[in-house]
Amino acid sequence: MDIQAEYRRKLTTPEEAVKLVKSGDWVDYSQVCSFPIALDRALAARKDKLRDVKVRHAISMRPVQVVEQDPAGESFTYHVWHCSGLDRKYIDAGRAYFSPMLFRHCGSYYERGYAPVNVAMVTVAPMDSHGYFSYGLTNCAQQELIDAADTVIVEVNPHMPWVPGLESDCIHVSRVDAIVECDEPFVYPAQPHASEVDRQIAANIFPHLRDGITLQLGIGGMPNALGSLIAESDLKDLGMHTELMSDGYLTLYQAGKITNTKKERNRGKGVFGIANGSRALYDFLDHNLGVVSAPMHYINDPAVIRQFEHFVSINGCIAFDLYGQVCSETAGLRQISGTGGQLDFVEGAYEAGHGMAFLATASTFTDRSGKLHSNILPHFSAGDVITTPRAMAPWLVTEYGAKNLAGLPTWQRAEAVISLAHPDFREKLIRAAEQQKIWRQSCKR
Query: Between vectors from CA 222 to CA 252 and to CA 82, what angle results, nearest 5°?
Result: 95
User: DSSP secondary structure string, 375-398?
Assistant: SEESS--SSPPPSB-GGG--EEEE
Q: List, for residues 183-213, the tens digit of each pLDDT value.
A: 999 999 887 788 999 999 999 999 999 999 9
Nearest alpha-carbon partner for 249 in 263, 233, 230:
230
Percent above pLDDT 70 for the chain = 99
What average pLDDT does this structure show over 293-301? 98
- Kindly give, in sequence order, each residue whose CB lies less than 8 Å from that of residue 349, ignoring residues fewer than 6 positions away: 216, 305, 311, 312, 313, 355, 356, 357, 394
Domains 3-181 and 196-435 are alike in CATH topology: yes
Residue 358, pLDDT > 90, answer yes
Q: How far apart are CA 311 and CA 274, in angstroms?
A: 19
Q: Where are the domains of the chain?
A: 3-181, 196-435
Taken in order 88, 227, 189, 180, the sign of the CA dihedral is negative
pLDDT average, residue stretch 236-240:
98
21 CB neighbour count, 10 Å cutoff: 23
- Quote the CA–CA distance of 340 and 295 in Å, as a whole number: 14
Q: What is the tens place of the pLDDT at every residue in 391-426?
A: 999 999 999 999 999 999 999 999 999 999 999 999
Task: Give the burial class of 96: count Cβ atoms within 10 A of its Cβ; 0-12 exposed, 13-18 middle, 19 or more buried.
Answer: buried
> 214 pairs with which residues across the strands?
239, 311
What per-residue confidence (pLDDT) applies to 165? 97
Catalytic machinery residues: 243
**Residues 137-177 pLDDT 10s:** 999 999 999 999 999 999 999 999 999 999 999 999 999 99
The helix/strand/coil state of 269 is coil
* CB 361 within 8 Å of CB 315: no
**Average of per-residue pLDDT across 341-346:** 95
Q: What pLDDT does 405 receive?
A: 98
Q: Which helix (H) or strand (E) holds 109?
A: helix 106-111
Helix (H, G, I), strand (E, B) or coil at 220: coil
185 phi/psi in degrees, rounded to 5:
-70, 160
For residues 279 and 285, give the distance between their C-alpha atoms in angstroms, rounded to a whole number. 10
Residue 445 has pLDDT above 80, yes or no: no
Helix, strand or coil, per DSSP, at residue 176: coil
Which helix (H) or strand (E) segment is 426 a member of? helix 423-435
Note the helical H segments in 276-422: 279-285, 296-299, 302-305, 342-351, 410-419
**What CATH code is assigned to 196-435?**
3.40.1080.20
Q: Residue 220: which pLDDT band, with cuts at 50, 70 and 90?
A: confident
Mean predicted confidence (pLDDT) in 124-148: 98
Q: What is the DSSP letter of 165?
A: B
Taking a C-beta distance cutoff of 8 angstroms, is the pair 134, 125 a contact?
yes
Distance CA 353, CA 417 (A): 25
Secondary structure of residue 164 in the 3-state scheme: coil
Instruction: Report whether 410 contacts 323 (CB < 8 A).
Output: yes
pTM of the model: 0.95
Q: How confident is the model at residue 443 (pLDDT cuts 50, 70, 90)?
A: low
Q: What is the pLDDT of residue 444?
A: 60
C-alpha to C-alpha distance for 190 and 200, rounded to whole angstroms? 22
pLDDT, mean over the chain: 96
| pLDDT for res 222 | 84
Pick the CATH number of 3-181 from 3.90.1660.10, 3.40.1080.10, 2.40.50.140, 3.50.50.60: 3.40.1080.10
